């Protein structure tokens, strides 16, 4: 089954939002490859552009946003940026399963979960609707919920954590082989979160999926992802195999994120919050390095030249870092 997992190649992707100050990029010139069968985590603080990037995988960026440049090439689908209308609708759900960040609120309040499940199945031409319900119950059961009861419930009868799990079920139930999970576990306590991440990993392996997990919580990525991409101010600043990036981070922003998490440093007294705040669309620098305002390694060149992504090919996959200071130090 593993051969069904699609590869994804995002190249030169720029997504802008219209603001009173003009069209400003929330995602800028992003290049990212999701290897077939891998789990990739994208991590970054609020506003770094993670959700916008995730929506682009479905060509689902809504006005006032638009994809201004680049391509998202998915095996079996082609460039989704060029897909339109019915082709696009069919691709969503069937080829690309997704849970949006707002999953907790995205259920229709007037219909039971079961009715929405049937609507989803019908809109994608599923003939075996009984099979679909069976599958949904099975997934909900694995996530610790009473499937029959949940399917009979309306949104208001479910807690935030239950809705989140319903969102994950809806992302997986149509058997899409590319799955995008945006903040899949934010409403959950630590034990339930860990449990859900374990299930996501199991289902990923059983079905031979390619999975993208978006989160602000580097601990989530540490638990679930094979590869990690770090996003800041609409740019990908570091990428690599999760263990390597967490064990030996190279970009000053990645180092700061890791230092801020007691769970990862192992010592609550040693955790240090990252100073300063992430930029907004308006305050993000238009030229030079997007991270320089918060960076201890800032040099003159950072003010004017956007650092290029530097690629090192390793046995476990490439490590990529975009930082002048790192490049100067490591390649002096
Ligand atoms: N509809 C919109 N109109 C204008 N600006 C937007 C819109 N949606 C997002 N943005 C801006 O784009 C930037 C990226 O937002 P995005 O939601 O992609 O980031 P994120 O990393 O997913 O953050 P969060 O975790 O808070 O959702 C932010 O500065 C945000 O304010």
Whether ipTM tops 0.85, in short, is yes
Segment 86-93 shows an average pLDDT of 85
| Spatial CA neighbour of 233 closest among 283, 174, 173, 163 | 283
Atom of ligand 1 nearest to the CA of 48: 21
pLDDT at position 1 is 37
pLDDT digits (tens, 9 = 90+) for 39-71: 999 999 999 999 999 999 999 999 999 999 999
List domains and CATH numbers for the chain. Answer: 2-95+177-189+208-319 (3.40.50.300), 103-175 (no CATH)
Q: How close is the Cα of 30 to the center of ligand 1, in Å?
A: 16
pLDDT digits (tens, 9 = 90+) for 132-163: 999 999 999 999 999 999 999 999 999 888 88
Rounded Cα gap, residues 27 and 29, in angstroms: 7
pLDDT at position 2 is 39
DSSP reduced 3-state for 271 = coil
pLDDT-based confidence at residue 275 (cuts at 50, 70, 90):
confident
Segment 93-118 shows an average pLDDT of 81
Structure tokens at 124: 């994608």
pLDDT at position 274 is 84
pLDDT digits (tens, 9 = 90+) for 292-306: 999 999 999 999 999
Residue minimizing CA distance to atom 1 of ligand 1: 64
Mean of pLDDT over the chain: 90
Q: How close is the Cα of 53 to the center of ligand 1, in Å?
A: 10
Segment 192-213 shows an average pLDDT of 91
Q: How close is the Cα of 79 to the center of ligand 1, in Å?
A: 23
- Cα 198 to Cα 77, 86, 98, 145, 177: the distances in Å are 29, 35, 18, 15, 18
Probe residue for ligand 1, chosen from 23, 48, 237 as the CB with the greatest number of ligand atoms within 8 Å: 48
Q: How close is the Cα of 236 to the center of ligand 1, in Å?
A: 15
Bridge partners for 180 per DSSP:
98, 212
For residue 89, the 8-state DSSP code is H
pLDDT-based confidence at residue 268 (cuts at 50, 70, 90):
low
pLDDT-based confidence at residue 255 (cuts at 50, 70, 90):
very high
């Amino acid at each position: 089954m593993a051969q069904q997992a699609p590869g994804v190649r995002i190249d030169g992707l720029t997504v802008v939002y219209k603001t009173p100050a003009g069209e400003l990029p929330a995602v800028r010139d992003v290049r990212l490859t999701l290897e077939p069968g891998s789990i990739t985590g994208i991590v970054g603080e609020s506003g770094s552009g993670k959700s916008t990037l995730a929506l682009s995988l479905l060509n689902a960026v809504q006005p006032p946003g638009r994809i201004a440049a680049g391509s998202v090439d998915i095996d079996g689908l082609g460039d989704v940026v060029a897909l339109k209308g019915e082709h696009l609708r069919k691709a969503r759900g069937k080829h690309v399963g997704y849970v949006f960040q707002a999953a907790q609120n995205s259920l229709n309040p007037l219909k039971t979960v079961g009715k929405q499940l049937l609507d989803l199945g019908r809109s994608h031409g599923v003939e075996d609707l009984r099979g679909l319900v069976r599958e949904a119950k099975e997934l909900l059961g694995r996530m610790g919920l009473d499937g029959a009861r949940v399917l009979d419930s309306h949104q208001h009868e479910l807690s935030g954590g239950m809705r989140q799990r319903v969102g994950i079920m809806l992302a997986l139930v149509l058997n899409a082989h590319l799955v995008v999970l945006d903040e899949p576990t934010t409403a959950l306590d630590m034990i339930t979160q860990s449990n859900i991440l374990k299930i996501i990993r199991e289902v990923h392996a059983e079905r031979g999926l390619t999975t993208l997990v978006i989160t602000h919580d580097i601990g989530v990525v540490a638990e679930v992802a094979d590869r990690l991409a770090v996003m800041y101010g609409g740019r990908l600043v570091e990428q690599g195999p999760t263990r390597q990036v967490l064990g030996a981070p190279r970009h000053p922003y990645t180092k700061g994120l890791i230092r801020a998490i007691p769970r990862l440093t192992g010592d609550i007294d040693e955790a240090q919050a990252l100073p300063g705040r992430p930029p907004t669309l308006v305050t993000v620098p238009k030229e030079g390095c997007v991270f320089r305002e918060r960076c201890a390694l800032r040099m003159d060149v950072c003010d004017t030249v956007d650092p290029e992504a530097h690629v090192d090919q390793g046995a476990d996959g490439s490590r990529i870092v975009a930082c002048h200071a790192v490049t100067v130090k490591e390649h002096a």
